[in-house]
Amino acid sequence: MQKASRVATEVFEWYESILLAFLAVILIFFLVGRAVGVSGESMYPTLDDGNQLFVQTLTSKPTYGDIVVADNYTGYGDPIIKRLIGMPGDVIDLDPVTNRVIRNGEVLDEPYLSVPTYPEDVPFPITVPEGKVFLMGDNRTNSLDSRSSQVGCIDQRALLGKVVLRFSPFEKIGG
């Protein structure tokens, strides 16, 4: 009987340890970040429709080139996932010959792009207003982003955080 009691105690201790570890992960997850799913092809080839991302929210200070998640106040539902191209005060332009993005007079090196960048209905050059950011999808021919008057420059307060990890699908885990 004593052996059965010892086994039951060990099983309970294992169960308790696993439960505490699970709760710690959940607590850290909710305090530091959140999961977001990619909906659509606007970030292809970097991100695919259905990918699951971990977004750092608490301490994230996004900078140029970061993939960020913003509250979608445009009325299309899910949060928007785009690349940060411009910060407050930046002048963003599009070269009409090469279709490349220019920030503050410098052509951006964007090796993640597979298609050229074309303007939408926002006139260029544009100076990013104070308190706003300029975001663009990597799939520039299929992205509703800051080039469109439907979206425009995004209020920095709408930024939920920056993407730090893709955790699904399993074969594409990583940053």
Would 23 be classed as within a structural domain? no
CATH code where residue 67 lies:
2.10.109.10
Cα first-last separation, the chain: 52
Is residue 49 one of the residues assigned to a domain? yes
Total number of domains in the chain: 1
For residue 14, tell me if it sits in a domain: no
Domain assignment present for residue 161? The answer is yes
Residue 18 lies in a domain: no
In order along its 175 residues, the chain shows pLDDT tens digits of 577 788 888 888 898 999 888 887 777 766 777 888 899 999 999 999 999 998 888 676 899 999 999 987 655 567 899 999 999 999 999 998 899 999 999 999 999 998 888 888 999 999 999 999 999 999 999 999 999 998 899 999 999 899 988 887 766 665 5
Residues designated catalytic? 42, 82
